[in-house]
Structure 1
């Protein structure tokens, strides 16, 4: 008795042809062909989904648990050596590993091992064996805002995440077992009784790294003024404060408003803790006001009170206290409350991994979370 088998040669030929076409399309793709940020986000999501379907379980393990941590290691060492900045200052041309080793004072064989990993991950360009060129990514690492991320992750986030499994196990895997002053960050830094912001107040170097990293994060997001038209705040406006940026860090967002409406600068207020607003970047006419948002809001009857990524730093009880402190200052029927926050979608597979990774960072650092629309 013989076993009948279907003829799949036609299907295989079609599949092979599709694969060839796809490879040609991917190799020919140029970033400049993207028309909008929405289209770019959709392409990234589709590519990520495609890669997840394409890879075997081992390839997925290797990508997430071996390759990605090795990228963080390689970047941290290169940033400590100031490799990318020195390279840029030296003319930014193609350089051999030997030339880069001489530029940084690092052993050539040692440096080559890190360069190879960055090149195989396409973060650094290999123009010939042992010869490299900077990329848009490594040049971004030369800026204080993007360049802060390897340091911020290394000294703040990764140690916290490393401590989290044991902390959660010891506390019975309860979502409310972490608090603002007694969570994974406090275990990692041996600072129980202090919030992460108390810690930053006594560690100005890490605070500066954090502020730079958040500036880099904000620079890559669409402007809040593209989400909420600034002209909405100018309709039927009366004399007095126009916009109060509560917990506004060093003023990234209020400065965007000032640049769009320079004649309104004197009616803009930036608020944050004294150590933070001391590094404010907003224009001279903007009122820079040291303020703790756990205390009553001193600026009354402003047209809008704006909070960007403030509530996600705090558990519900603290977040409600922040909002309660704004209520007495707001004028009924006139003042607006503007919240600029990440929203966790019900169908999480349609979201960016940034949403869920930031949520886990908030869990460890602040005992807080990214919230859904209903939360």
Structure 2
């Protein structure tokens, strides 16, 4: 058999595999053979990050099946046959508001009252709980790095030099990476645009900053983003995967601290996922459930992002999406 090397060959193969969804072989031996071949293909195509995510999030399948059973979702879907269903239709059909459980299957919005606190016997949110557990903290940091390895970044599509860094002076703060962990984004910026003047500042909590990547031109700074932002008048205040970790009321606090430090040339760059209203990637739905269960937060749709920015006193000037599948995007926001 000849190898599949051309883009058209691979595209044809994808089409044929999708068509199998509507023509499942009736012969059991053939069906099992296809299942085994498909499973082997998935494993061969997975990146290390894909494999880790598949294994780490497996427990969600059991949990969601239990919830679906509790609210009679499987029977409702079976009765609807092949008819498509919106989430609002299913919410009405399942009458989830009447399920007498602790939160009545409502979306949690309190980051200190989630399954995480119950499971770990703590009143702390996960990020504070991790601070005195260096092994867990290091493992978490390693996972966050590995999960995005090899993927595009906002610098691949957003014209940072043109829209943010024009007419810069060396002493002016250019880029403040708020909650930036050990500094991968700061390092990426310095390597991508080494000649741009202006200060690049990395901020995170003290135990994290202690392990910041040494990089010439990057200033590490211990800072809690729930408190006053000490860097005033920066061109760009950057938040990568921060907003999705917090319910809306906390997001408004975080954004408010930044807004008080901004001047007329400042922008907020929010680097996060913007979910489509339908057909959301399965990996994103896993993350969304994890945000809900661990942090009382969620991955937001475009409508939800615009609503949050409006509630915080911000307007969105521009949105640039740089990963089509996960919908990672840069939101450029300024005060109204």
Q: TM-score, normalised by structure 2?
A: 0.66
Once the two structures are TM-superposed, the CA of residue 312 in structure 1 deviates from its matched residue by 0.3
Change beyond 3 A, Cα 1:364–1:328? same
Tell me the residue number matched to 2:40.
121
Asked if residue 187 in structure 1 is aligned to residue 118 in structure 2, the reply is yes
Equivalent positions of 1:143-292 (< 5 A) are 146=49, 149=52, 153=56, 158=59, 162=63, 165=67, 169-176=101-108, 179-191=110-122, 193-232=123-162, 233-238=164-169, 239-264=171-196, 267-292=199-224
Question: In structure 1, how many angstroms separate the alpha carbons of the residues matched to 2:100 and 2:21?
Answer: 29
Query: Contact 2:175/2:235 (CA < 8 Å) preserved in 1?
Result: yes
Q: Is the 8 A contact 1:152 1:213 kept in 2?
A: no
- In structure 2, distance between residues paired with 1:231 and 1:43: 40
TM-score of the superposed pair, with normalisation by structure 1: 0.60
- Judge conservation of contact 1:265–1:285 (CA < 8 Å) in 2: no
For structure 1, the 5+ residue unaligned runs are: 1-23, 68-116, 125-134
User: 1: distance between equivalents of 2:223 and 2:232?
Assistant: 14
RMSD: 3.9
Matched-pair contact (CA < 8 Å) for 2:168–2:198: no
What corresponds to 2:275 in structure 1?
Answer: 344
Distance 2:134 2:37 in 1: 31
1:372 aligns to 2:304 (yes or no): no
Q: Structure 1 161/123 Cα, relative in aligned 2: closer, same or farther at 3 Å?
A: closer
**1:107: which partner in 2?**
none
Counting matched residue pairs gives 264
Counterpart secondary structure, 1:253 = helix
Tell me if structure 2 keeps the 8 A contact 1:45–1:352.
no
The structure whose residues are more often helix, as a share, is 1
Contact 1:152 1:210 (8 Å CA) reproduced: no
- Quickly say closer, same or farther: Cα 1:150–1:226, change in 2 above 3 A: closer
- Alpha-carbon distance between aligned partners in 1 of 2:24 and 2:13, rounded to the nearest angstrom: 16
1:354 aligns with 2:283: yes
Aligned: 1:363 with 2:292? yes
**Greater percentage in strand:** 2
For residue 55 of structure 1, report the CA deviation from its aligned partner.
Answer: 5.4
Q: Distance in 1 between matches of 2:136 and 2:60?
A: 14
Question: Structure 1's 316 and 290: CA in aligned 2 closer, same or farther, altered over 3 A?
Answer: same
Aligned to 2:261: 329
**1:49 and 1:136 mapped to 2: Cα distance?**
17
Larger Rg over CA atoms: 1
